[in-house]
A = this chain, B = another copy of it.
Amino acid sequence: MSLHYPSVLLENAVNEFAKLPGIGRKTALRLVLHLLRQDVSQVEGFAQALVTLKQEVKYCRSCHNISDSEICGICADRSRDASTLCVVENIREVMAIESTSQFNGLYHVLGGVISPIDGIGPSDLQISSLEERVRQGEVKEVVLALSATMEGDTTNFYIFRKLHPYNVKVSIIARGVAVGDEIEYADEITLGRSILNRTPFDESYKLK
């Protein structure tokens, strides 16, 4: 359905919203009309929050995560184990892993994965700075937590080779049947992985 906008200002605002991923023109219109019903101050607050973020955002000098300061809260936290680095694609994975409360080391945010089809090579990612962190000698283990995709795997191998000269253990998060999933519906590669990587079971084992 082609839409006839009664106002150029309206159309501009819809066009801007429709540039966002997963937002079609109809959703964009609904969001813009919602904002139109709010006070001017609320719309300005919305706009200002985005501009301020973009203008003032910092990236942690150490792990490259988004931060309000030179060194992010996680890297600055002395209670965390600086000998274990978890390598992730971006800040969303940091937040997801943090919310599990199962990891007490530090992170290294690559900013993506190697993807020749999208023109993203190793030099576009924070891989040499990872190598530099490892070279300094404090890191004992690097945990790879990238997407289980072709690109993620390529990146895993690349990092593994780069870190090979150093005395560092490289591990990868477990692939297996997700908690809550039924075995019969798991794909065969995942199921195969979960059998190969089976772990000892005792009475203390709980799915939580």
Contacts and interface: CB of A to CB of B under 8 A. Distances in A.
Contacts of A73: 6
Interface in A1-46: 1-10, 12-13, 15-17, 19-23, 27, 29-36, 38, 40, 43-46
What interface size band does chain A fall in? 35 or more
A129 interface: no
Interface stretch (A51-59, A135-143, A184-192): A51-59
Contact of A21 (B34, B44, B47, B67): B34
A43 B33 CA distance: 20
Contacts of A3: 95, 99
Nearest to A100: B1
Given A13-B49, A50-B46, A91 B33 contact: yes
Given A44-B51, A47-B47, A53-B36, A22 B12 contact: no
Nearest to A47: B47
Contacts of A2: 99
A81 interface: no
Interface of A: 1-10, 12-13, 15-17, 19-23, 27, 29-36, 38, 40, 43-58, 60, 65-68, 72-74, 90-92, 94-96, 98-99
